[in-house]
Amino acid sequence: MQGKNSYGTYIWLNLRRNYVIRSLRLLLCIAVLASCAFAETNLNGAGATFPNPIYSKWFNEYHNLHSDIQINYQSVGSGAGIRQVQAGTVDFGASDGPMTDEQLKESKVKVLHVPTVLGSVVPAYNIPGVSGEVKFTPDVLAGIFLGKITKWNDKAITSVNPGVNFPDQNITVVHRSDGSGTTYIFTDYLSKVSQDWQGTVGKSTSVKWPVGLGGKGNEGVAGSIRQLPGSIGYIELIYALQNKIPYGVVQNSSKNFIKASLESTTAAAVGVKMPADFRVSITNPPGKNAYPIASFTWLLIPTSPADANKGKVLKEFLFWMLDKGQTMTEALSYAPLPKEVVEMEKAAITKQVKP
Amino acid sequence: MPDSVDPMNPPEPLGQLQKPVVAVPSLAQVGREPKTGVSAAILRKIRTSYPRSSRIPDAVFGVIILLSAISVFAIVLLVVWELMDKSRMSLHQFGIGFFYGHDWDPVAGSFGAVPFIYGTLVSSFLALLLAVPASIGVAVFVTEMCPQRLRAIISFLVELLAAIPSVIYGLWGIFVLAPLLREYLEPFLARTLGWTGFFTGPMYGLGMLAAGIILAIMVVPVIASITREVMTAVPQNQREAVLALGATRWEMIRMGVLRNARIGIVGGVILGLGRALGETMAVTMVIGNRPEVARSLFAPGYTMASVIANEFTEATGDLYLSALVEIGLALFLVTLIVNALARLLVWSITGGTARVRA
């Protein structure tokens, strides 16, 4: 049974409902018209987490310039990015490490590696009583992470850091516990500079660490380093810069001690002999001012896309990324590509990517 | 209609205890038609005015309920099948050796699950060891001794603990718990209990002990709230009866309340264990993530859920992925076995007369 008041409410609700339905219909009409007028091109990509901030920025800026183009990116990790581009479920992939020959062979679609920005990895530490920059030689880094150098006042460390007063304290190694491009770059570097490392550990996104604790993500490693006196770990340069974490300098192949910065990271890519498919490791490069623990990160572009229109849009985006896009990198602490690499990439994209 | 007995869910001892209370009609009920009579009358009316109309809805209802029941089996079977299918490569490569292999080397492609199984079991049991006494204490206090006004506040706070996201527990673990452990608790344990071998070695703060403590905090609300519910359900006359026999308060709680509620409490502990076994984020942030079997609780460890979460996204190579899925299979099996054991335990406590609720 309904009282008078509630009946009134009922009528009112009914009127209101009519109104709502009408306005919904109107909205629907507008939406249909709008979608006819601007046929949106949606591109989907997936992969590496490390370049996610700059990629989001690029895709967003590009959408502002071309309102009919929407590029979606899921930062699901390099491994997942490679798998998805192999299976053809995304329009492009992204990875912090180049695909292996085997992975390229298994892939259903042919893939071109397009370097986008550079990143580098720095050693961060927490040594009680030491506030200045600590210098690391390749041998010292390999020795510490292999567990052969266990004390901060070991001769190998003190001899390259004259004047620094190291405590007699045990070294605690902190590494990434999650599979990561950062680990790949760091272990790739150690494999190049140390036979011992190459033989016992090797390089991968996760490895069997001889010593130490695992922290999750850059923040996990940095947090552990801050907490544990006598600890050392490796983190991305971007993370160290943005959070103002002090880090050490590393000796490069020309015996110069180089502090990681955006310039010295870009310098790492300058003197490297670039193969035609851009799958190159630039750790321990020949350049005089090059920071030795650096790497490209790549977009994985199918060379003959199933949808020609999408392929065309993606190609246009790549050219924009190599010109205008490169100027946006430094604001987000990514190192831009050297000019000669940009030119090489443009030529390769024009030649190899259809249409 | 008399009290119908659901054949799927026979009344527990608790229900039997309550029966006499129900049987005596309260003052308010005297003089009124019993409820069952009213509903029977309505039912009769519906039957006469809409003949046979209820048969189809009944049939539909029956089918829907049956489907929901079957879906549980179907989901479990699908999970097992999917896990087996996706880990076929690893199953083939390592065989049963996967479950007693100690090595985890993605570069060399050699995988074994022992350090992860060990880490999962040890961290979970450590958590229960700490959480069960604390939760029962909370529940006893709230139901038996707490002033009325405080009761709501404490219950609310305990349930709030359950609502905190696990990543927050993880961060708290890194920034608050780990330093406390490293500076105070671990040196103390090493001095007093170092001889047992469980509390030796370098003190990082992060490690198995930290994981156990974090997990304990996370399962306390689960166990405490279920224990509280079960204890509240114990009829008041049980308490009064025990007190009337001359028991002290503690004896009353022990014999009158905890004894009656023990099945429900074990059910709560099993639920808590389930949460501890599967917890990923908070554990991976504090356990140190080192695939190693160490006797000392100070040493870093690794759990099955953590290694999957950590390495799955960046796993390259089919064998590596397959091995990670097989870790998932191992986690499934371990959960199954632990739950089965827990049920056996309940069964042995109650002599096979009662069932666990949870």
Percent of chain A with pLDDT over 70: 90
Work out the mean pLDDT of chain A and round it to a whole number.
88
* Cβ-based neighbours of B207, under 8 Å, separated by 6 or more: B286, B287, B288, B297, B298, B299, B300, B301
Which pLDDT score, from 0 to 100, does residue B87 have? 92
Cβ–Cβ contact B104 with A under 8 A: yes
Residue B314: which of A78, A213, A214 has the nearest Cβ?
A: A78
Say whether pLDDT at B46 is over 80: no
Say whether pLDDT at B26 is over 50: no
This prediction has a pTM of 0.79
Say whether pLDDT at B211 is over 60: yes
CB A125 within 8 A of CB A177: no
Say whether pLDDT at B19 is over 50: no
**Band (B17; pLDDT cuts 50, 70, 90):** very low
ipTM score of complex: 0.77
Size of interface A-B (CB pairs under 8 A): 103
Region A61-81: mean pLDDT is 91
Query: DSSP characters for B210-270?
Result: HHHHHHHHHHHHHHHHHHHHHHHHS-HHHHHHHHHTT--HHHIIIIIIIHHHHHHHHHHHH
- Cis omega (within 30 of 0) on the bond before A355? yes
Cβ–Cβ contact B103 with A under 8 A: yes
Q: Pick the residue with more confidence: A71 or B45? A: A71
Which pLDDT score, from 0 to 100, does residue B2 have? 42
Region B112-120: mean pLDDT is 95
Region B93-100: mean pLDDT is 90
Say whether pLDDT at A345 is over 50: yes
pLDDT tens per residue across span A250-265: 999 999 999 999 999 9
Across the interface, whether the CB atoms of B106 and A206 are under 8 A apart is answered: yes
Length in residues, chain B: 358
CA angle A264–A269–A275, rounded 5-degree value: 170
Across the interface, whether the CB atoms of B107 and A103 are under 8 A apart is answered: no
Say whether pLDDT at B4 is over 60: no
Please identify among residues 8-37 of chain B the ones whose CB lies closer than 8 Å to any CB of chain A.
none
B112: which chain A residues are within 8 Å (Cβ-Cβ)?
Answer: none
**Band (A196; pLDDT cuts 50, 70, 90):** very high
CB A191 within 8 A of CB A198: yes
Which pLDDT score, from 0 to 100, does residue A307 have? 86
Please identify among residues 169-198 of chain B the ones whose CB lies closer than 8 Å to any CB of chain A.
170, 174-175, 178-179, 182
Say whether pLDDT at B351 is over 70: no
Say whether pLDDT at B299 is over 70: yes
Comparing A33-42, A239-248, A304-313, B79-88, the range with the smallest average pLDDT is: A33-42
The Cα of B107 is separated from the nearest Cα of chain A by a number of Å equal to: 6
Residue A213: which of B105, B300, B306 has the nearest Cβ?
A: B300
Query: Which of A228, A279, A300 should be substituted to probe chain B, the one whose Cβ sees the most B Cβ atoms within 10 Å?
Result: A228
H or E element that contains B177: none
CB A73 within 8 A of CB A62: no
Please identify among residues 270-309 of chain B the ones whose CB lies closer than 8 Å to any CB of chain A.
284-285, 288-291, 300, 302, 306, 309
B291: which chain A residues are within 8 Å (Cβ-Cβ)?
Answer: 208
Which pLDDT score, from 0 to 100, does residue B357 have? 46
Say whether pLDDT at A29 is over 70: no
